[in-house]
Amino acid sequence: MACKQFDVVADYLQIPGNERARLMYPKRSLTVALPIHCDDGSTRVFTGYRVQHHLTLGPTKGGLRYHPDVTLGEVAALAMWMSWKCALTGLPYGGAKGGIECDPRKLSTAELERLTRRFTQEMIPFIGPQVDVMAPDLGTNEQVMAWMMDTYSVYMGHSVPSIVTGKPVGIGGSVGRREATGRGVGYLVNRAMDTLRMEADGATAVVQGYGNVGSIAALSLAKYGVRVIAVSDAYGGIYNRKGINLWKLDEHLAKSKTVTGFAEADAITNEQLLITPCDILVPAALERQITEANVGKIQCRILAEAANGPTTPEADLILDKRPEMFIIPDVLCNAGGVIVSYFEWVQDLQSFFWTETEVVDKLFRTLESAYIQVLNMSRKRNISMRMAALSVGIKRVQEAKRTRGLFP
């Protein structure tokens, strides 16, 4: 999917054939076997991956995902998207992604810690604050980042907070990092509503995936006055036409660990959720959720791609023929996370920490600049927002590679 998308943009940008492979192939890919002791006394071997897409603009940067479907191909695609996202938002990074094929819900905390430490140990020759910096993604969180930082620091003999971002504030994390992706989604949806001259007050939103990104995006939209009418997680969805009380939902979530079963809403499936009529649809779970099969039934005014790759290229072709739908493509929509990760890395390197107001202000200014560039390009050249966003990102990497030349 990422390669197909790259080819379409490369055709549009008329990138010569001999530069394409250089832009497309990941620089480094590593697969590791991860044996750990399980709580029941058995030993299990998991598989972990890390792909660093390009190192032309600085270290690589990208999340680490724990999910049963993780493969090398998926990680490579996500790494490529990270490259375009970092370039689009002007960050001095190449893209990377990592993952472990596992179901974190079926592992105890002790097993997760052993798995994370083993993975970090295997990665030591491959990572570093100036080489490759990880962050949380699907199925990982601040605690996982803390274990990674600790393992790396023990190995180095001193604390190295800049080895990961998205770690707890108490050990060198940045205020506002946990909320950054969802907050950025909220900011960009609000900007899209301005562009479309839509009123936030009374607009309705549907959010697929009520995890880190989805829950904060929902809250952020609610703060702008939007009514969140449906949300979901891996167990199913809930719907209330009058709007879901997100504060009460959080209380329910704290007890039952899923949004399903919330008393003040009806149960719906994830399939129904995606085609629920609304003003703003926010896929914030997995990739390939909006496909040829359901894209025709989607009824929203703004599609805010908080997840990475939620729309397949086939569905995208159909969306191109539905100009009534305004798309905030993933490389722009969820960029808030990597932007504040960059701020965290900078703060760690300088050992000088900013206030939340400074972080949020810089985040919104960076997103604003990217949004305006993408919107202007899309309008001026009459291309989709996705094509515009990818063009800006890919062009920057292409120019950097050209300027640096080819060694030797």
Catalytic (active site) residue 85: no
Name which of 174 and 398 has its Cβ closer to ligand NAD: 174
Q: Is 405 left (phi over 0), alpha (psi -120 to 50) or beta?
A: left
**Contacting range for ligand NAD; rule: CB under 6 A; set: 154-162, 208-216, 371-379, 396-404:** 208-216
Closest distance between ligand NAD and the C-beta of residue 331, in Å?
10
Place of tokens 């394409």: 20
Radius of gyration of the chain from its Cα atoms, rounded to whole angstroms = 20
> 131 φ, ψ to 5°?
-120, -55
- Listed in sequence order, the residues at least 6 apart from 296 whose beta carbon sits closer than 8 Å to its beta carbon are 318
| 240 vs 267: CA distance, rounded Å | 9
Number of residues that bind ligand NAD (CB under 6 A): 24
Taking CB under 6 A as the criterion, the residue among 136, 161, 172, 329 binding ligand NAD is 136
What would the two tokens of residue 131 be?
């080489």
Q: With respect to ligand NAD, which residue has the nearer C-beta, 288 or 381?
A: 288
Instruction: Give the Å distances, CA to CA, from 32 to 28, 63, 148, 268, 352.
Output: 13, 17, 16, 39, 35
Q: How far is the CB of 105 from ligand NAD (least distance, A)?
A: 9
Torsion of CA 35, 37, 41, 43, to 10 degrees: 0
Backbone angles phi, psi at 182, to 5 degrees: -65, -40
Contact criterion met (CB below 8 Å) for 137 and 171: no
Longest Cα pair distance anywhere in the chain, in angstroms? 65
Nearest to 101 by CA among 54, 34, 37: 34
- Map residues 300-339 to x or -, x wherever contact with ligand NAD holds by CB under 6 A: ------xxx-------------------------x--x--
Residue with nearest beta carbon to ligand NAD:
211
> Among candidates 139, 82, 92, 163, which has minimal Cα distance to 334?
82
Question: Of the ranges 53-61, 185-193, 209-217, 350-358, which one interacts with ligand NAD (CB under 6 A)?
Answer: 209-217
Catalytic residue among 61, 85, 97, 167: 97
Single out the segment in contact with ligand NAD by CB under 6 A; choices: 155-163, 194-202, 244-252, 281-289: 281-289
- Least separation in angstroms between residue 138's CB and ligand NAD is 4
Q: How far is the CB of 211 from ligand NAD (least distance, A)?
A: 2
Q: What is the DSSP string of 152-177?
A: HHHHHTS--GGGBSS--GGGTPPTTH
Nearer to ligand NAD, 76 or 286 (CB): 286
The contact pattern for ligand NAD, residues 213-252, with x = CB under 6 A and - = no contact, is xx-----------------xxx------------------
Of the residues 5, 165, 212, 276, which one makes contact with ligand NAD according to CB under 6 A = 212
Among 95, 99, 139, 173, binds ligand NAD (CB under 6 A): 139
Q: Which window, 17-25, 157-165, 207-215, 348-356, contacts ligand NAD (CB under 6 A)?
A: 207-215
**By the rule CB under 6 A, 208 interacts with ligand NAD:** yes
* Binding span for ligand NAD by CB under 6 A among 44-52, 205-213, 238-246, 247-255: 205-213
286: contact with ligand NAD by CB under 6 A: yes
Residue 260 per-residue DSSP state: T
Bridge partners (DSSP) listed for residue 282: 207
Our measurement of the distance from residue 110's CA atom to the centroid of its chain's CA atoms, rounded to an integer in Å, reads 26
Q: How far is the CB of 22 from ligand NAD (least distance, A)?
A: 26
C-beta of 213: minimal distance to ligand NAD in Å? 3
Spatial separation of the C-alpha atoms in residues 386 and 173, rounded to whole Å = 31
Q: What is the distance between the alpha carbons of residues 171 and 124, in angstroms, rounded to a whole number?
A: 20
77 binds ligand NAD (CB under 6 A): no
Judged by the rule CB under 6 A, the positions of this chain that interact with ligand NAD are 136-139, 181, 208-214, 232-234, 270, 284-286, 306-308, 334, 337
Active site residues: 97
